Structure 1
Amino acid sequence: MSLQFGFSMNAFREYSTVGAIDAVADAGYDGIELLFDQPFLYPPEATGEEYDEVRAALDRNDVAISNCNAFMLTAIEDFHHPSFVEVDEDYRQRRIDYTRDSLDAAAELDCDYISIEPGGPVPEEKSYEWGMETFVDALAELAPHAEEVGVDLLVEPEPDLLIETSSQFLDLMDRVDSDAIGCNFDAGHLFCVDEDPAELVETLGPYTEHYHLEDIPADREHEHTQLGDGAMDIDGFLEAVEDSGYDDYVTVELYPYQETAAETAQGAMDYLRDHGWT
C-alpha cells in the first residue's frame, strides 16, 4: 500500500506535546497532525525552545508531520470563533492574524500546508454570499504571505459552516486567485452532508493535498466515530484515494475521544492493519 497514515494530536489535549507525539508513534503511525492551539504549540506565543522540543520528539520517534491543524482556536474562544466571517472586523482580524502566524509556524517546521476552517458559521443576520465575499477577502489577505513562505492554506469543508459541500468548495475556488489555496478533504464531513467521499476523490483531487478520516454514524450526524464503528465505507474511500495516485498522508481525526486518546489511536491503527492498509 502506498498511503501513509497519521493521527491528529487534537485527541490528546490531556497530554503534553511530547507525550502526544510519543503515544501516536507507539501506536504505529507514520505521522502526526500537529494542533496549533493551546495546550500545544500555539503560534502567536511559540518559543524557539518549543519548536526544538517538537523537532526532537519527532526525530526521536521517527514520525513526520502529516498536517498542521490551524482550524481549532480554543486559545481565544472555541473551535470556530473567531472565524473568518465575523461581523466584528477586529474579531475577524484575530483569526486572520492567527492564521498568518500559523503559516510561519508551519514554515519553521518545514510543513507544506496548514488546514483552516471554511470561513466559519455564517452570522444569522448575514447571507451566504456575504460570507463567501468576506472569506475570499480574508484569503486574499493571507495568500501572498502563504506564497512567500511556501505553505499552502487548505480549506476544510465542514457541516454547518460557510462551506459544507463539494460544490460550495468549488465555488470558492472559482473566486480565489492563488495556487496557495487548496483543500483539506475530510471524508466524514462530506459524508455528513449526504455526499459520497469516494466519488469526490476525483472531483476534488486537483485541489487536495491532505485527507482527514474518521467514521460517521448511520444518521450522518457530525460525530467523529472510531473507524469501523460507523456507517462509512472506509475501505472504498481509501481505495479511491490510493487509485487516484495520492501517496501522502491520510490523518485519522478522532478528537471526541480525549479520555481514551492513546487507546483510540491504537484501535484505529488496528482497524487499518486488519483491513490491509498498513
Structure 2
Amino acid sequence: MAKKLGCSTILYGGFSLGEALQGISGTGYHAIELCARPGSAPHVEMDRSASYYTDIKQKVADNGLVIESLAGTGGIDFGSDNFDRVVEVADLLGAPAVAMGSSGKSDDQESWGMFINAINRVSLLTSQANVKLTIKPHVGNAVYSSETIMQFMQEVDQDWVGINYDASHIYRSGEGQDPVEILDIVKEHVITLRIRDNRDSRQRPIGPVQTQIPGKGVLDLPALADIMNTIDRVDHVIVEIVGTHGGTDTPLDQVQEVVDECYDYLNSFFD
C-alpha cells in the first residue's frame, strides 16, 4: 500500500510552528515530524504546562495533519536522568515515536557499549508510555551501515526500538553501499522513513539544499519508494531536508518553494 507523504518542520526552523503547519498542510502533506531542536527548529519546548502540548495537538489537527514523531530532545541530553521529560512530552503530544540520531562514534567499541546501554535505558522509559524510539543510521555515528544496523537491532528491544531510514546517510556512509539494497535488507527493522536526494558525491557533508530536493540528485528514489511502500508497519514517508532551518536566514517563500517542489516530485510515488 502506498504511504502518505509528510514533511519535517525542520525545513521551517526559522519560522513559527503555525507557519510550518500552514505551509505543510497547504501543499498537501498528511503528517509532520515535529522538531524540538533548539537553534535549528525549536517548535516544541520541554518545560511547558500540559495545556501547551494540548494546544499544539489541536493546531496540528486543525491543519489536517498528524504527528508522525517528535524529533529531538529540546536540549535534554539523550539518556540523562531527566530524559523522561522528553518521553512525557511525546506522550502528551500523542507522538507515537521519538526520532533520534544514532550518536556515538563509528567503529569504536567503548562508544558502542555506552550507546547501546543508553538506548536500552531510554527504551524502558518509552515502552511505559507506549512510545517507540526510532534511531537514524548517521554518517560518522555508531550506527551507519547495514552491518551496524543489524548488530544494533540484535542488542536492543525490537518491540520498542527501530530504524529511521534515510538513504542519503547510507549513501554517504563511506562503505560504498547501495541504499536501495540496504533498505531491502533492513526493512523488517524500519519503523520510520525519511526521504531526500543526495548530490553526486559520497563525501560526508550532505551538500546544498538544491541537490537534496527529490529528483535533483543521484539516489534511485523510485526504487526506494517501491520498497518503502511494502513496509506495512509504516504509514508515512517524511521529507527531511537540511539547509533552510533556523540560522540559515532562508526566506519563507524560498522554504515553501522547496517544500512544494519535493511534494510535486514525490506525489506520484506516494499517496
TM-score, structure 2 as length reference: 0.85
Task: Pick the aligned partner of 1:204 from 172, 181, 186.
Answer: 186
Whichever residue aligns with residue 34 of structure 1, its letter is L
**2:78 pairs with one of 80, 95, 110:** 95
Equivalent position to 1:162, from 142, 148, 157 = 142
How do 1:69-148 and structure 2 match up within 5 A?
Answer: 69-70=71-72, 75=75, 94-97=77-80, 99-121=83-105, 128-148=108-128
Give unmatched runs, 5+ long, in structure 1. Answer: 77-93
Query: Please, which of 179, 197, 200 is the counterpart of residue 215 of structure 1?
Result: 197
Q: How many Å separate the matches in 2 of 1:8 and 1:139? A: 23
Paired residues of 1:201 and 1:244 also in contact (CA < 8 A): no
How far is the alpha carbon of 1:276 from its aligned partner? 4.6
Q: Which stretch shows the higher mean deviation, 27-36 or 136-145? A: 136-145
Runs of 4+ with deviation above 6 angstroms:
none
Secondary structure of 2:241 counterpart = coil
Distance in 2 (alpha carbons) for counterparts of 1:179 and 1:245: 15
Q: 1:156·1:183 contact (CA, 8 Å) conserved in 2?
A: yes
Verify the 8 A CA contact 1:2 1:247 in the aligned structure 2. Answer: no
- 1:137 is matched by which residue type in structure 2? N
| TM-score, scaled to structure 1 | 0.83
Following TM superposition, by how much is the alpha carbon of 1:102 offset from its aligned partner in structure 2, in angstroms? 2.1
1:237 corresponds, among 224, 227, 231, to 224
8 Å contact from structure 1 (residues 210, 249) kept in 2: yes
Corresponding position: 1:257 with 2:244: yes
Q: CA deviation at 1:117?
A: 1.6
In structure 2, distance between residues paired with 1:128 and 1:169? 15
Residues 240-249 or 142-151, more deviating: 240-249
**How big is the shift at 1:178?**
5.2
Q: Is the 8 A contact 2:70 2:95 kept in 1?
A: yes
SS where residue 95 of structure 1 aligns?
Answer: coil
User: 1:246 & 1:178 partners in 2: Cα distance?
Assistant: 13
The Cα of 1:179 is off from its aligned counterpart by 2.2
Contact persistence 1:212–1:251 (CA under 8 A) = yes
- Deviation per CA, 1:36-83: give whole Å up to 9, x if none: 22322122x133242123112112111111222127x6x47xxxxxxx
Alignment of 1:9-88 (within 5 A): 9-38=9-38, 39-43=42-46, 45-70=47-72, 75=75
1:132-173 per-position Cα deviation (integer Å, ceiling 9, x unaligned): 110111122212111111111111101111221121121112
Q: Contact 1:187 / 1:211 at 8 angstroms: preserved in 2?
A: no
What is the CA–CA distance in structure 2 between the aligned matches of 1:56 and 1:177, rounded to whole Å? 32
**Matched residue SS, 1:162:** coil
Is the Cα–Cα contact under 8 Å of residues 139 and 169 in structure 2 kept in the other structure? yes
Q: Which residue identity lines up with residue 219 of structure 1 in the other structure?
A: S
> How far off is 1:33 after superposition?
0.7
Number of matched pairs: 253
Give % identity. 19
1:257, CA displacement in angstroms?
Answer: 2.4
More displaced stretch, 33-42 vs 145-154: 33-42
Q: How does 1:179-198 map to 2 (within 5 A)?
A: 179-193=159-173, 194-198=176-180
Instruction: Give, in whole Å, the separation in 1 of the partners of 2:148 and 2:154.
Output: 10
For structure 2, the residue ranges without an aligned partner over 5 or more in a row are none
